[in-house]
Structure 1
Amino acid sequence: MSMPKEIKYFSILYFLLLLVDIYTKINMSDIPYRYITKTIVLGGLLLFTRYYCYDKNNKTSNYLYYGFILFFIGDILIIDHTNTIRFVASMILFVAGKVCYTLRFKHKEDFSIKRLIPFFIVCFMFLAVVYDFIYHNLKLYFIPVTLYFFISLIMILFAFIRKGVVNNKSYYIVMLGVGVFLFSETTMVIKTFYGDVLYQDFLIMFCYALGQYLIIIGVLFENKKLTENSVILYPKNDK
């Protein structure tokens, strides 16, 4: 069976199981049902990642797998989010998972700061809009939430500067993944510190799972090739 077909079949199964998990979250008790459905959904993606992305001879490529393990444990712990210890532990694991993803996205090529200016402008505008909604309700959570967003944006930055280092298919799938991932987190933050969002439970869960899926699938298509519209600085003798 070819790789594209395997991805296709896995994807169908993954999203069907995800819909079951979302239905369970919205219509049934989290304990014990979500421990079952969420473990099946994310456990399946974890096994998929282990099979296709793990390479015992390549430490850097394994950061994606290690990161997803941390996300997986954090996701199981946060089901019981009313438990303060589990909630804090899950947040720490999520941050550590993002750091692992960032390490997976990094590369050794030099990049142009000028070409990153639009990225920084968009990030600033994004944070300005989000904090306009949530700032007055953050209070003691201002520093933790800010650090959480900062780590997320660093992860997205390293995904962004992959442009020109990997092929376009891998680049855009990963960028879409981290974007959807950030949308899920932003919806959660607005729900927590501002107010309800239309279809919030569905959006948070679906976009989070979709983001993880796209990041992993995108990395599978990774290919070290430079392109003309890269953020990479070419050596002078290559121009």
Structure 2
Amino acid sequence: MKTTNSSFFLILYLALLGIFLLLIPNSFFGAEKYIIPPTLDLLLILYFLVFSDNTKQTKIKISTGLIFSFLGYLAFLFTPDERSGYLLSLFAYAIAKVCYISNFFSTKSVSVKRLIPITVILVSFGTLFLFLIWKNVYEALIPVVAYMLLLFVLVKTTFLRKNMVNNTSYILAFLGSLFLLLCNAVFALDLCYTKIAYAEIYIYVFFYLGKLCIVLGTMEQRVDKTQLKTIFRGRA
């Protein structure tokens, strides 16, 4: 019964997201942005709290991250001043990312051989990204860079979990972090560099699939004891 209900929640979540994406290009009033995304956020929080069998500590970290992500979207929607709304939402999203990072991070997963290539890739991406947008974000450059670094840490943290947890959890969490990075990259480029066709659709797809993957990756998280033994033998 629990599996059936869990599947129903996932189908409902994806169906609502699909309906929302279809409405975006055909909307006259934009009312769906005030209804469906907050509903998706609340649905995902409820889904995680009801169906997750993770530890209490993990539940607190991920649910807190989801709540702050929800608050970040509300701040972006309802703050009268656009710049203040952007900074408030950025702050809330940053707290969400810290919660996700604290859940996935483990000192046991740090491998210099795997850390160097992902760091080089992310630094290259970040350098090019800032080169493209910095002229239009100079007033908010510090919070933008700080948030970008948090996203990079999240990507690295989920990437370095390989061989520490089961493959399903690893792939889902890593995909989730990449989706969230792409969401913010598309948003910033569309806002500060050049208009991107269907940018809004890409942003919402990456945003809500990213959070879903983070949740599913957490719910599937199991320590791979066989791989851990192999790693520790290698280190010894």
**What TM-score results when the alignment is normalised by the length of structure 2?**
0.88
Q: Which residue of 1 aligns with 2:194?
A: 195
Which residues of 2 match residues 148-167 of structure 1 at below 5 A?
A: 148-167=147-166
The alpha-carbon distance between structure 1 residues 226 and 134, as it changes in their structure 2 partners (threshold 3 A), is farther
* Number of residue pairs the alignment of both structures matches: 234
Q: Which residue of 2 aligns with 1:29?
A: 29
Q: Which residue of 2 aligns with 1:20?
A: 19
Q: Which residue of 2 aligns with 1:94?
A: 93
Q: Secondary structure at the match of 2:56?
A: coil
Contact 1:21 1:41 (C-alpha < 8 Å) held by counterparts: no
Alignment RMSD, CA only?
A: 2.5
Q: Secondary structure at the match of 1:48?
A: helix
The alpha-carbon distance between structure 1 residues 233 and 39, as it changes in their structure 2 partners (threshold 3 A), is same
* Cα displacement string for residues 188-238 of structure 1 (whole angstroms, at most 9, x for unaligned residues): 01011102112101000111001111111111111101565x8x9933487
Deviation at 1:50, TM superposition (A): 1.4
Q: Which residue of 1 aligns with 2:141?
A: 142
Cα distance between partner residues in 1 of 2:77 and 2:206: 17
User: Which piece of structure 1 moves more, 181-190 or 41-50?
Assistant: 41-50
User: Which piece of structure 1 moves more, 130-139 or 169-178?
Assistant: 130-139
| Identical counterparts, % of pairs | 23
Contact 1:160 1:175 (C-alpha < 8 Å) held by counterparts: yes
Cα distance between partner residues in 2 of 1:68 and 1:53: 14
Q: Which residue of 1 aligns with 2:70?
A: 72
Cα distance between partner residues in 2 of 1:226 and 1:111: 16
Which residues of 2 match residues 163-174 of structure 1 at below 5 A?
A: 163-174=162-173
Cα distance between partner residues in 1 of 2:225 and 2:180: 26
Structure 1: stretches of 5+ with no match in the other structure: none
Structure 2: stretches of 5+ with no match in the other structure: none
Q: Which residue of 2 aligns with 1:47?
A: 46
Contact 1:110 1:233 (C-alpha < 8 Å) held by counterparts: no
* Cα displacement string for residues 141-177 of structure 1 (whole angstroms, at most 9, x for unaligned residues): 2212111101111111211221111101110111111
The answer to whether structure 1 residue 121 and structure 2 residue 125 are counterparts is no
**What TM-score results when the alignment is normalised by the length of structure 1?**
0.87
Contact 2:75 2:85 (C-alpha < 8 Å) held by counterparts: yes
**Which one of the candidate residues 216, 232, 235 is aligned to 1:235?**
232
Q: Which has the higher helix share?
A: 2
